[in-house]
């Protein structure tokens, strides 16, 4: 179970790295998983009605402060801390456990977008859309075997936003038509 949370958390950190302050590198800096897990445990044990994502807010604030003290030199590219390739995703198409495990990183990434992206009003899909997310990753990976599955998340967010702006998707709804994954 800890491995699943670790994987979700690293997806969350990847999304945070992209959406909070692009070009800031990796917000984790020198923090270890044990240090992070202990912080989350303290937050969750004292706030049992909060979600894990809400419990991460003080952690992320602490990491932002740390990074401000450690930051030296030029801006760095945002770091995706989960590197599951599309080839690995596709090869595991019949392994439901591995797919759920790796998909957890994508869901963590989307959770970070919900909390730190340009629209922090809540879940941009407003419901648990595991099937939609998995379909998007499948379609994205079909043409990009060397890409990371997390690289598919920003185009996914932009696709949903575009469909919603065009009136084809209501907030919190799934697309009625087939997903159209851009070739780029």
Nearest to 108 by CA among 142, 71, 133, 75: 133
Residue corresponding to tokens 């419990």: 55
Q: What would the DSSP string read from start to end of 71-97?
A: --SS-BPPP-S---BHHHHHHTTT-HH
pLDDT tens for each residue of 46-66: 777 777 778 788 888 887 777
What is the DSSP-derived secondary structure letter of residue 165?
A: H
Q: Comparing 114 with 134, which gets the higher pLDDT?
A: 134
What predicted TM-score, i.e. pTM, was given to this entire model?
0.75
Rounded to whole angstroms, the Cα distance separating 121 from 115 reads 8
Average pLDDT of every residue of the chain: 77
| pLDDT > 90? residue 90 | yes
Rounded to whole angstroms, the Cα distance separating 50 from 44 reads 7
Could you tell me which residues are beta bridge partners of residue 85? 148
């Amino acid at each position: 179970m800890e491995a699943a949370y670790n994987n979700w958390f690293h997806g969350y950190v990847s999304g945070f790295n992209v959406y909070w302050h692009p070009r800031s590198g990796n917000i984790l800096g020198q923090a270890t998983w044990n240090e992070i897990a202990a912080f989350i445990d303290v937050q969750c044990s004292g706030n049992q009605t909060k979600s894990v994502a809400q419990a991460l807010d003080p952690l992320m604030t602490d990491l932002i402060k740390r990074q401000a003290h450690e930051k030296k030199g030029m801006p760095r590219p945002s770091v995706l801390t989960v590197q599951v390739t599309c080839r690995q995703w596709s090869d595991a198409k019949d392994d439901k456990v591995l797919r759920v495990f790796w998909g957890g990183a994508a869901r963590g990434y989307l959770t970070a977008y919900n909390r730190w992206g340009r629209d922090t009003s809540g879940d941009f899909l407003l419901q648990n859309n595991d099937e939609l997310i998995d379909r998007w990753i499948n379609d994205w990976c079909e043409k990009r075997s060397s890409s990371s599955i997390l690289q598919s998340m920003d185009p996914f967010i932009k696709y949903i936003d575009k469909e919603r702006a065009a009136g084809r998707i209501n907030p919190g709804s799934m697309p009625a038509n087939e997903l159209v994954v851009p070739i780029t």
